[in-house]
Amino acid sequence: MKPLLKTLTETFAPSGHEDAVRKVILKEVRPLADEVSVDALGNLIVRKKPAKGAKNPKKIMLAAHMDEIGVIVSHIDKKGFVRFTNVGGTFGRYTLGARVRFLNGVSGVVGYDRLEQVDNILPINKMYIDVGASSKENCPVKVGDVAAFERSYIEMGDRLIAKSMDDRSGVVVLIETLRSIKSTPNDLYFVFTTQEEVGVRGAGAAAFGIDPDIGIAIDVTPTGDTPASLKMVMELGKGPCVKFRDVGMVSDPRVVDWMINTAEKARIPYQREVLLIGSTDAREIQISRAGVMAGALSIPCRYVHSASEMVDYNDLKNSVKLLAAMLSKSVSF
């Protein structure tokens, strides 16, 4: 799992530009799938059909988004300094001093107009990207070009750190879950979604097309285990989190009970999640068509939406175990 996660996180694929990471995922899932398709929004939809003789199989959609936050060029001044705006939740506190890479391969470093009070919250509209140009004419990027954070994957024991753990860690969990399920009585759709960071757009389109009975998002969740963090119970290394509520949705109690009962029966550690900030693809899946029973399984993650997002390897492994245990048996509700 770790080499694949390294490859996934070091691939550049900001929202709306997911082609490169989709190619990586497709190589992994094609031998494991009964059907593979890509829809108009670029979602990669991987189907594993129910075993022969399965009675009344549930159609279950599992979603992990493959896009990442980024920036987009909005203006280039006469000296070649690049102004930009965000693609998704790119925060000023993490952006100053960061290195970025554009999809054309150009690298740059983020600077700030004037640091009079360095401890204040820094707005990105006062920042620029220095790409080494000396004029507008020799600037190697153009208005509309997109970039993402440039930072390599590293390991610190069981703690894994990289850009785009949100949500390449969810992507690797879905791939490994698909790999571990040899047979299922359910009709499973593993969906690697696009444009989650800019409004859960891919998931909505995919859910409309699939029309699932049950939808589950696999995404990261911020933790409450760092100094002066928000008072939330989620911690690294304590197991995947069963979501009860976030800003965008309330999980279906039947899906919550299914996750918890499976975890307890299989003795898989888990945490209960009430998230105070943010949401996931499950928000859009839940309100697709006439409505879908929806929930989310979350991977605890520190420093979300920075270039150094941190997850725990044991949480990834236990997420795979829990999903495999859930999906390998018939759903009774």
For 219, which DSSP code?
A: E
Give the residue from 162, 220, 219, 166 showing the smallest Cα distance to 191.
219
Q: Of these residues, 176, 196, 284, 309, which one is catalytic?
A: 196
Give the residue from 287, 170, 169, 272 showing the smallest Cα distance to 217.
170
Distance CA 46, CA 29 (A): 7
Q: Kind of pairing, strands 187-193 and 59-65?
A: parallel
CA distances from 264 to 58, 102, 296, 307 (A): 22, 45, 17, 35
Q: Do residues 104 and 145 lie in contact, with contact meaning Cβ atoms separated by under 8 Å?
A: yes
Amino acid making up residue 170: G
What number of residues does the chain have? 333
Q: Do residues 68 and 195 lie in contact, with contact meaning Cβ atoms separated by under 8 Å?
A: no
Q: Do residues 188 and 10 lie in contact, with contact meaning Cβ atoms separated by under 8 Å?
A: no
Is 10 a known active-site residue?
no
Assigned token pair, 97: 């001093």
SS3 for 159-204, per residue?
A: EEEECCHHHHHHHHHHHHHHHHCCCCCCEEEEEEECCCCCCCHHHH
Phi/psi of residue 242, nearest 5 degrees = -90, 115
Which residues are identified as catalytic? Answer: 196
